[in-house]
Chain A
Amino acid sequence: MPSDRASKEESRTVVECHSVVKSFGSVHVLRSVDLEVRESEVLCILGPSGAGKSTLLRCINHLEGIDGGWIKVTDQIIGYELRGNKLHELSERAVRRQRGLCGMVFQHFNLFPHFTALQNVMLGPVEILKQPRGEVEARSRLLLDRVGLASKVSVYPSQLSGGQQQRVAIARALAMNPRVLLFDEPTSALDPEVVGEVLRVMLELAEEGRTMIVVTHEVGFAREAADRVAFMFDGRITEIGPARAVLEKPSEARTAEFLSHVLV
């Protein structure tokens, strides 16, 4: 429960977006997004399709470059380097190192089909971070155990249900020891009966104090796990505040209307 956790007023900022602008050609996807996420805070982002929620997450991980403003994760500006008063694009190598700050969980899991569950989890730490195999394996087994898949270590993704695949994907993200977890509609591609098992894992992560940004349509999850909820419309964050307050008494008409659609 968010209320059970220590107050985060004094804890430090992990993710900070400042006037972030992004467009694809003539399509303005992000029009000045400002956002601050503090250590061990859970922020849920809600909003209609096309609002730019995925794009925002992808920018935070520098899977997309931005056209204006800046994004900081911990104390690093993502993807760019401030020299004088200009932001210069970083080298691929430096970007790669920064990507370790964020762990990403995708709507369609994107597990590697030619590797087993355990290999999927170990691949990053062993081959990308060059950590010792033995250690990584032990840690990966623990992670799979934590997401309830201890019995599936040597199974391939195609033999797992959607919910199981998504839990492996969460373990894979955790294995990289990220400072913040980014979830992009992690349950949208799942059959209704397995949504719960994934949300339960996410709730546990929230309770143990992980910093998380979760794009979701699961209002119930937002109410239960989020410290704050943000609404995104047309490339802007139009409303942000404590979960209960925003979900129950939205101050914006658009938010209220959106919620009335989602909550049917």
Chain B
Amino acid sequence: MRSHDGTGAQKGRSGSTSLIAGGAPPYEPASAGGRASTYEIVRRKHPWRFAAAIVVLLLLALLLYGAANAHQLHWSVTGHYLFNRAVLVGVLRTLEITAAAMMLGLALGVIFGIMRSSHNPVLRGVAWLYVWAFRGTPIILQLFLWFNLALIFPRIDIPGIAHGTTVNIITPFLAALLGFGINEGAYMSEIIRGGLLSVPPGQTEAALSLGASHAWTTRRIVLPQAFRVILPAIGNDTLQMLKLTSLAAFISFNELFGTTESIYYANSEVIELLLVAGAWYLVASSVLSVVQYYVERKFGRGFQRGRQQALVERVVLRAMARLRTRAV
């Protein structure tokens, strides 16, 4: 009787989940009761899953068939422009402005994120104002503001940095960089503030009790730990920025989208060229996703998360240590 009950319980389980399907009967020693020492496991069938998959695949096939046979769509034009020189330059510029804007955003984010966590109410207030203004208005508006800066400041005179007429200094690239970078900085400062908050206050206290300065504590103790939390969010923002930069076309910065746009203005192959741009955006974001996955796996996951992940932790911590051993 006992061994019968054991089998029954196991069948019940393998019915609801196949996780333990391969294992021995969990509640009985193999020889107990003198019955067979192993039982065949019958997996539950999922006919509806199969049916749903068929339906979805059929619909997808119809869609592809439709696209392939759309006689208005000139696939050859798309293919031709995919590696067009101007398009490739556009891809490069998209990557450039994305990287530059993210770097500016990160720098501003660290500064304002630390300011927002400061004890000084003035610093906190200014940082709040920055986030409030730049998160609260559309990015396209901000781009146009920077692009048209000459309307209110005809000349720029910053000793040691820039002298001259604003029109000459604020190129489309610079306007785009300021627009995207400063906007990103507002979001990034919130991300960094969250990261800083995620570090237990005991860490700061321990560092201070060793006689450390606030600056050292932030740099060596708090930021490296906050980084783990911050990293996935930076990855997401980078992916988003990649596509957002297409708006720079509206301030005549010829990145990928703007380039394809000016080509189809000339040859009227609108959809074909949009597909060219789309393909490149997909390639770039796929590459970034893979990079993000590896970077996060290296720095982010499993840190301090229970005992089962000790191995992952060890790998992550070793990697982090390798980066740090030079200093200590």
Contact = CB atoms under 8 A, between A and B. Distances in A.
Interface of A: 61, 63, 92-93, 96-97, 99-100, 102-104, 106, 108, 110-116, 119, 122-124, 126-129, 156, 158-159, 172, 176
B324 A114 contact: yes
Contacts, number: 85
Given A113-B303, A123-B328, A159 B214 contact: no
A112 B328 CA distance: 13
Interface stretch (B88-96, B163-171, B204-212): B204-212
Contact of B224 (A99, A103, A114, A128): A114
Interface residues of A, dominant DSSP: mixed
A116 B324 CA distance: 10
A115 B328 contact: yes
Interface in B90-125: none
Interface string B196-223: 0000101101111111111010001100
B209 A63 contact: yes
A106 B317 contact: no
Nearest to A156: B317
Nearest to B320: A114
B324 to A, nearest CB: 7
23 contacts: A63-B205, A63-B209, A92-B213, A100-B211, A106-B205, A110-B202, A110-B205, A111-B206, A112-B206, A113-B303, A113-B304, A115-B328, A119-B324, A122-B328, A123-B210, A124-B210, A124-B211, A127-B328, A156-B317, A158-B303, A158-B304, A158-B313, A176-B210
A96 B324 contact: no
Contacts of B310: 158-159
Contacts of B313: 156, 158-159
A175 B303 CA distance: 27
B221 A96 contact: no
A219 to B, nearest CB: 26
A102 B209 contact: yes
A108 B200 CA distance: 11
Interface string B294-315: 0000000001100000100110
Query: Majority SS of interface residues in chain B?
Result: helix
Task: Sort chain B's interface into a size bin.
Answer: 20 to 34
A128 B314 contact: no
The 4 A-B pairs at the shortest CB distance, nearest first, are namely A110-B206, A124-B210, A110-B202, A104-B209
A114 B225 contact: yes
Interface of B: 200, 202-203, 205-214, 216, 220-221, 224-225, 303-304, 310, 313-314, 317, 320-321, 324-325, 327-328
Contacts of A108: 200, 202
B209 to A, nearest CB: 4
Contacts of B200: 108, 110
Contacts of B325: 119
A114 B208 CA distance: 17
B320 A128 contact: no
A99 B210 contact: yes
A97 B327 CA distance: 22
A99 B304 contact: no
Contacts of A100: 211
Contacts of A122: 328
B318 to A, nearest CB: 9
A106 B221 contact: no
A170 B203 CA distance: 15
A96 B328 contact: no
A106 B206 CA distance: 8
A100 B213 CA distance: 12
Given A110-B202, A158-B317, A128 B212 contact: yes
A112 B324 contact: no
Contacts of B210: 99, 123-124, 128, 172, 176
Contacts of B320: 114
B216 A128 contact: yes
Given A127-B216, A156-B317, A159-B314, A110 B203 contact: yes
